[in-house]
Amino acid sequence: MKNVLITGATGGIGSALAVAFAKAGCRVIVHTNSKPQKARQLCDILTESYGVEAYSVQADISDSNSVGKMFDQISERSGQLSFLVNNAGIAQQKLFTDITNEDWSKMRGINLDGAFFCCREALKRFMLPNHSGAIVNISSMWGQVGASCEVHYSAAKAGIIGLSKALAKEVGLSGIRVNCVCPGVVMTNMMKDFDETTVQGLREETPLNTLGTPKDIAEAVVFLCSDKAKFITGQILGVNGGFVI
């Protein structure tokens, strides 16, 4: 049975990822930082509904020491890791001149540093020694084109794209694939601060005239980790309904 670590797995996209990988027969490692009870509940659902082993780990992914301890737990309990999905992230809307040093550091720490730390541990401990594995980093369409009033978010997500492309070149000869998924407008808790008029406007700007679901993102990620995508690496897959073309 192949193991997958999903960071930020208690959120809307994260929980959909957990379900999708469980359906694919993977042992699911559910990461959380601040919602351990919700993570345990998700593990119970995965085991009861899909018959796979699932367990939770807790870490502040913006802290390299915390990430190291999380991977110690994975090493002790699972001994191997086939797939890593760097999904954890935060968003914030602010005028550029209002972004504080703390805002910038937190955005970079969770959205970019966390992916770096997790990739480093997964590669060193599991994937490089085994000459196999797949990593999918979750960016955003705003990492591709930028978003007004989300400069720090856009910058961090653009960093994810660069990390994915460069890392794919470096580890390809070791049999490891690295890809990036850039979601469009997806109805999750990150959208809770937008009023219906704004949401409707985003829907109308999307060529398919609909907004995405967490399941749309999850199915794309599972595909990229599967053998069906064995000749795909270093790619940026936009799952956005045509919002960014």
Query: Across the 245 residues of the chain, what is the mean pLDDT of every consecutive 10-residue run?
Result: 97 97 98 98 98 98 98 97 98 97 98 98 98 98 98 98 98 98 89 80 94 97 98 98 96
Query: What is the pTM (predicted TM-score) of this model?
Result: 0.96
pLDDT of 196 reads 83
CA distances to 8, 9, 69, 116, 118 from 72, in Å = 18, 19, 5, 17, 12
pLDDT of 194 reads 76
Which of the following is catalytic: 153, 158, 171, 181?
153
Whole-angstrom distance, CA of residue 198 vs CA of residue 236: 27
Whole-angstrom distance, CA of residue 58 vs CA of residue 222: 23
Instruction: Please name every residue paired with 137 in a beta bridge, in sequence order, or none if there are none.
Output: 86, 180
pLDDT of 188 reads 82
pLDDT of 183 reads 97
Is residue 153 flagged as an active site residue? yes
pLDDT of 213 reads 96
pLDDT of 199 reads 87
pLDDT of 100 reads 98
Whole-angstrom distance, CA of residue 87 vs CA of residue 22: 16
pLDDT of 2 reads 97
